[in-house]
Structures are given as C-alpha cells and as structure tokens.
Amino acid sequence: MQQGSLYPALHRLERRGWIKARWGTSENNRRAKFYELTKAGRRQLEIEQDAWLKLTAAVSQILETA
C-alpha cells in the first residue's frame, strides 16, 4: 500500500472514531504515530468481518455449482 492511499484511509478511520492515534517513539528511536482500534472500531471490525464471511460463502456456493 502506498502512502497516498494509507494515510487518507487512516485519517478517515480516525474521523469515524474507529481508531485513535498517539505520538510516540519507534524502535529505532524516531518520532512515530501509533494507531489502535477503539471500542467502536472493534464493533465495526466485527460487522465488516461478518459481511466478508457472508460474501465469501456466497461466492463459494456459486463456484461450487458452476
């Protein structure tokens, strides 16, 4: 994933309240931003995982009958 895609996506997730960011120090002693899921983000992840599982099951059924 390129920076031009990653950072706008992270900012969108943060605006929606699904992740939160904090500044800290990386392993190589540089200033870095760290992200973590919020409670709302965990709920949304469960919703997205459920939708993904339903989609892949439907595609699997179609492929099995083809």
Q: What pTM value is reported for the model? A: 0.76
Structural domains of the chain, ranges and CATH numbers in brackets: 3-65 (1.10.10.10)
The torsion defined by the Cα of 38, 41, 45 and 51, in degrees rounded to 10, comes to 160
Which residues, in sequence order, are CB contacts of 51 under 8 Å at separation 6+?
A: none
| β-sheet bridge partners, residue 35 | 21
Q: What is the share, in percent, of the chain residues with pLDDT greater than 90?
A: 89
pLDDT in tens, 1-11: 777 899 999 99
Confidence at residue 3, expressed as pLDDT on a 0 to 100 scale: 73
Residue 66 has which token pair? 């083809």
Rg (CA), the chain: 17
Residue 36: pLDDT above 80? Answer: yes
Q: What is the mean pLDDT of residues 30-38?
A: 97
In angstroms, rounded to a whole number, what is the distance separating the alpha carbons of residues 17 and 33? 16
Q: pLDDT band for position 37 (50/70/90)?
A: very high
Which residues, in sequence order, are CB contacts of 47 under 8 Å at separation 6+?
A: none
